[in-house]
Amino acid sequence: MVGVANLLNTTATTAPDALLPARTQMAISLGWHIIVACFGMAWPAMIFVLHRKGLNGDDVALELAKRWSKVAAVLFAIGAVSGTILSFELGLLWPGLMDAYGDVVGLAFALEGISFFTEAIFLGIYVYGWGRLPARWHSLMLLPIMAAGVVGSFMVISVNAWMNAPTGFDLVMNDAGQMVPTNIDPLAAIFNSAVWLQFAHMYLAAVMVVGFSVAAVYAMGLLKGRRDRVHQLGLLVSLAFVAVATPIQPVVGHFAGQRLADEQPIKLAAMEGLAETTDAARLEVGGYWNGEELVGAIEIPVDGLLSFLSTNDFDATVIGLDAVDPDERPPVAVVHTAYTIMIGIGSALVGLIAWAGWLWRRNRDALFTSKPFLWALVASGPAAVLAMETGWVTTEVGRQPWIVHGLMRTTDAVTDASYIWITLTVLVVVYAGMTAGAIAVIRSMSKRWREGETDLASPYGPSLDERSGHRSEVKAVVSAVDRPGIQP
Amino acid sequence: MSVPDAVAAVMFAAVILYSVFGGADFGSGVWDLTAGNARKGAPTRRLIDHAIGPVWEANHVWLIFVLVFLWTGFPSAFSAIMRTLAIPFWLAGLGIVARGAAFAFRKYSPTLRWAQVTGVIFASASLVTPFFLGTIAGGIASGRVPATGTGDKQEAWLNPTSLLAGVLATATCTYLAGVLLTADAERLGYHDLVAELRRKSLIGGAITGAVVLAGIPILLTDSPTLADGLLGRALPLAAGSGLAGVITMVELYRGRPRRARIVAALAVALVVAGWGAAQYPWVLVDQLTVSEAAGANAALVGLLVASGLAAVLVLPPLIYLLTLADSNRVGTATVDG
Ligand code: HDD
Ligand code: HEM
Ligand code: HEM
């Protein structure tokens, strides 16, 4: 395999100049996009639950569905533009990857495109349809959004999984003496051996990110003494979703690890910090990698536990980093630390759900009144985001030095452009602005809702009584005349 | 028609649709920019929000389609384009992000000041983005993207054809949006706005026409292959586009903007189709043909199946959304019912 890879492209001995800024830029733009993408994947289902509840006569639920859908519209907008940048970046930062394998993974991206289209269309219909479409029909517009979110994210994840487990082609030498992919089978590439576990793991992660983040917002409100039904319902619905997802997540993660033992053992060795190939290996938890070995880790005194976790066999051999040359190992310290954080947070969140279940059984109101529990929920939102980000760092950095596992090195895929530091700087500034803007807009929306406003009309121009007020505080005039559709 | 030809045709159809729908979207932003101060411009801005609010995200997915088709169907052409034309791509990407985010933020602005800041970002990004996209088209069409290696990264987009295409793209988007907004204003009964937009759109149309005429000598000298195609195979399309442009002006002048908008969209579609026909069989003009650039056959067939699927799954709801937006069932300046 490795020999083949060296034939495929001239392997650079020194890293190209653009490598560092290009990976940093890819990591930042993906790491940013994935947070809003989670809302695209998981939030519509939660809104749907509220909307249906609202149709059965629960006005608070209906109001909440309406508010959430407006926040979702803002998040989807920035998700769409940051996603567009990602598709530019695949070509602008990694032309070598797209040149060699663009047609292998392209079908997944095409199907993803169709899904995004569906999502964008029905989102337009749903968000702008309040009060304009027949009520029952209107809520059903969420179903295609949900379906498109699932299919679209499956397809993107499939491309990433393919980079971990490349299949669906043969490498054949062409006339110029290069190895090129031939006999391409796009469906085999989509349904590669890593896709189902990666997708399940990511989908659950999306539910957790959204559920815990939303719960954190309402927990904060409850802590500030806003004990109304809006806050209780917001908390309950989001908590219900994570109560299902959180306990399943470690199970799926465990099987993802077993796949690694089989197909990407070096990544697993980096995650566990296993320097040498070992029979009946013990599990070490935590600690940090000092460049040669794991220090400060807690060793679980059960012989063969790591072997058992990786392969279901206590005596099995677990491959260590020494199995390959140093230039084929990922940066172990990053991978191990990221992995440890993910596992730590995943376990803690399972504990949090158990706590919630216990409170619920004892006295339902305790969910809304227990201060320690509410504070833990406030922390759970950022924690879930961190777990998801460190999960991606584990997968992506753990795959290094390969961009396509075993076949193409990242150094061979990267652009030769000389100015990526500039694009990176601009991206950081623009994304920071976008983050600040989104936070400011959403906070002001929730403030106006608390003040009893429902319309959230944008002030396109100063209102007529401007002279009496502060210029910057003038509210829009939205009279009947201004409403399109009503003839003046 | 061979499989690569079919994929190229579908991809180009997406380019045309992006030019019309994305173009109207970008152009609306330009009208936002020129609407005047906060007080004077408020009705226009409200109209623009109303017109593109529900559809702008869908309008831009066409671009994603084009990119995906390009890298799957013609991977070597894609990477050549991305290597050589990276700078205008980065700039267009910046414009797309700034514009989309600012538009979404403006919609829920808490204060006038905030609406003004996000509005200016949205509007100025709308002005420059089609320009950069146009320079990309110009670089490809004038044969400046080599099939292998990296071309001259500056000259590839700062050349006569690219600059012409950039200016033309911006002018066309603006003109198209002007006609559509005039029609919208008429439908909604904003009579003052109709008169103003109509007048400005007529000026815009005249400018666009002038740019086209000025462009002819530029193309003849700078892009002989393209000019050959335009005067040969693509002549009916180019002439049809010119005719449609004139009819648009006449209908607009006679105060029938709702009719004018259909012809205006047709004019844009025809001119872009003319570019495609003139350029065929080249993907990269003078460098790489459709059949040479084609990726794996299975991937191409997959793309065709996917586009069939898209036609069935995406087009009906898209048409539904567009008609809803048009019939006032969705999309007022406020979302609440
Ligand atoms: C786990 C899910 C996931 C992952 C890993 C990614 N995305 Fe994403 N993306 C979504 C989930 C998503 C989404 C939830 O489906 C979004 C967010 C908002 C939206 O409308 O769709 C989206 C939007 C979105 C869009 C905009 C579509 C539109 O115009 O509406 C594009 C072009 C991409 N993405 C492309 C990418 C690329 C090229 C990625 C990786 C290299 C990527 N995404 C990673
Ligand atoms: C959306 C969630 C994802 C996140 C948060 C993420 C994160 C990262 C990170 C942290 C890196 C940097 C690795 C390093 O420092 O060496 C990276 C690299 C990269 N990722 Fe991902 N990734 C995600 C999904 C994907 C997907 C779906 C693709 C599909 C094509 C992808 C393609 C790449 C590429 C091409 C690189 C550059 C090569 C490299 O240096 O690793 N990523 N990503
Ligand atoms: C506590 C138990 C967990 C275990 C055993 C676990 C295990 C794993 C493993 C082995 C991988 C690497 C997969 C690969 O490279 O193919 C991974 C990746 C990942 N993890 Fe976890 N994980 C756990 C918890 C979590 C939690 C709580 C989250 C987020 C809320 C999370 C988010 C991710 C993400 C986003 C990835 C990368 C993408 C993917 O593989 O889907 N994980 N995890």
Cα distance between residue B152 and residue B154, in whole Å: 6
Domain shared by A204 and A236, yes or no:
yes
Does residue A383 carry a pLDDT above 90? yes
Q: Is residue A36 part of a domain?
A: yes
pLDDT in tens, B133-166: 999 999 998 888 888 777 788 888 889 999 999 9
Does the beta carbon of A32 sit less than 6 angstroms from any atom of ligand 3?
no
pLDDT band at B95 (very low <50, low <70, confident <90, very high): very high
Residue A461: pLDDT band by 50, 70, 90 thresholds?
low
Q: Is the pLDDT of residue A13 over 70?
A: no
Binned at pLDDT 50, 70 and 90, residue B266 comes out as: very high
Q: Which of A285-289, A332-336, B321-325 has the highest mean pLDDT?
A: A332-336
Q: Provide the 8-state DSSP code for B18.
A: I
- Express as a percent the part of chain A with pLDDT over 90: 37
Question: Distance, in angstroms, between B33 CA and closest chain A CA?
Answer: 13
Q: Tell me if A382 is assigned to some domain.
A: yes
State the DSSP code for B288.
Answer: E
**How many Cβ pairs within 8 Å bridge chains A and B?**
298
Query: Does the structure show a pLDDT above 60 at A468?
Result: no
What is the pLDDT at residue A349? 95
- pTM, full prediction: 0.86
Higher pLDDT, B193 or A12: B193
In tens, the pLDDT along A136-147 reads 788 899 999 999
Separation of CA B107 and ligand 2 centre (Å): 32
Complex ipTM over 0.90? no
- Provide the percentage of residues in chain A whose pLDDT is more than 70: 90
State mean pLDDT over A66-86.
90
Domain assignment of residue A217, yes or no: yes
Identity of the residue in B79, B295, B306 whose CB atom sits nearest the CB atom of A114: B306
Partner residues linked to A409 by β-bridges = A402
Banded model confidence at residue A483, pLDDT cuts 50, 70, 90: very low
Q: What is the pLDDT of residue A34?
A: 95
Q: Give the mean pLDDT of chain B.
A: 86
Q: Which amino acid is at A22?
A: A
Residue A455: pLDDT above 70?
no
Q: Above 80 in pLDDT, residue A471?
A: no
DSSP 8-state symbol, A281: P
Q: How far is A116 from chain B (nearest CA, A)?
A: 7
Closest CA to A194 of A150, A133, A257: A257
Please tell me whether residues A167 and A141 are part of one structural domain: yes
* Domain carrying residue A79: 30-192
Residue A23 CB–ligand 2 contact under 6 Å: yes
Decide if A474 is inside a domain.
no
Q: Are residues A43 and A121 in the same domain?
A: yes
pLDDT at B156: 85
User: Cβ separation of A131 and B329 shorter than 8 Å?
Assistant: no
Q: Which residue has the higher pLDDT, B47 or A205?
A: A205
Out of A124, A159, A192, a domain closes at A192
- Pairing outcome for strands A408-409 and A402-404: antiparallel
SS3 content of chain B, % helix, strand, coil (to 5): 80, 0, 20
Residue A487: pLDDT band with limits 50, 70, 90: very low
The chain-wide mean pLDDT, for chain A, equals 84
What confidence tier does A180 reach under pLDDT thresholds 50, 70, 90? confident
**Which element (helix H / strand E) includes B9?**
helix B3-17
Is the separation of the CB atoms in B104 and A113 below 8 Å?
no
Domain closes at, from A139, A161, A192? A192
Residue A7 included in any domain: no
Q: Give tens-digit pLDDT for A199-256.
A: 999 999 999 999 999 999 999 999 988 888 888 899 999 999 999 999 999 999 999 9
d(CA A42, CA A40) in angstroms, rounded, equals 6
Q: How far apart are CA A172 and CA A166, in angstroms?
A: 15
**Across A338-358, average pLDDT:** 94
C-alpha to C-alpha distance for A167 and A170, rounded to whole angstroms? 8
Instruction: Please give the average per-residue pLDDT across B227-240, as a whole number.
Output: 89
Q: What is the mean pLDDT of residues B315-325?
A: 83
pLDDT for residue A11 is more than 50: no
Same domain, A175 and A205: no
Same structural domain, A219 and A187: no
Half-sphere exposure (Cβ direction) of B293: Cα atoms closer than 13 Å: 32
- Among the partner residues B50, B57, B65, nearest to A80 by beta-carbon distance: B57
How many angstroms separate the alpha carbon of residue A33 from the centre of ligand 1?
Answer: 7
Q: Are A181 and A208 members of one domain?
A: no
| Number of domains into which chain A is organized | 2
Instruction: Check residue A1 and give its pLDDT.
Output: 31
Question: In whole angstroms, how far apart are CA B47 and each of A340, A415, B41, B121?
Answer: 53, 43, 10, 18
- Whole-angstrom CA distances from A79 to A123, A154, B46 are 13, 16, 24
Predicted local confidence at residue A170, as pLDDT: 84
Among candidates A37, A155, A27, A35, which has minimal Cα distance to A94?
A: A27
Distance A90 CA to ligand 1 centre (A): 13
Domain termination site, one of A393, A413, A433: A413
- Whether A128 is in a domain gets the answer yes
Phi-psi region of A178 (alpha: psi -120 to 50; beta: other; left: phi over 0): beta
Let me know whether A307 and A272 are in one domain.
yes
**pLDDT bucket at A459, cuts 50 / 70 / 90:** low
Residues A283 and A322 in one domain: yes
Residue A252 shares a structural domain with residue A210: yes
**Residue A237 CB–ligand 3 contact under 6 Å:** no
User: Is the same domain home to A125 and A253?
Assistant: no
B93: nearest CA in chain A?
A85
Ligand 2 pocket check for A393: Cβ under 6 Å: yes
Rounded to whole angstroms, the Cα distance separating A330 from A398 reads 6
Of the candidate ranges A5-19, A161-175, A344-358, B32-46, the one whose mean pLDDT is the lowest:
A5-19
Instruction: Assess whether A207 and A175 both reside in one domain.
Output: no
Mean pLDDT of B216-236: 88
pLDDT band at A18; cut points 50, 70, 90: confident
For the Cβ of A153 lying below 6 angstroms from any atom of ligand 2, the answer is no
> Minimal Cα distance from B38: which residue of A?
A461
| Range with the poorest average pLDDT among A194-198, B15-19, B48-52 | B48-52
> Please, which residues have CB within 8 angstroms of residue B49's CB and are 6 or more apart in sequence?
A458, A460, B106, B107, B333
Phi-psi region of B331 (alpha: psi -120 to 50; beta: other; left: phi over 0): left
- C-alpha to C-alpha distance for A192 and A168, rounded to whole angstroms: 8
| Pair A160, A292 in one domain | no
Statement: residue B116 has pLDDT above 90: no
DSSP B159: S
User: What count of other Cβ atoms lies within 10 Å of the Cβ of residue B59?
Assistant: 23
Going by C-alpha positions, the residue among A149, A258, A123 that lies closest to residue A206 is: A149
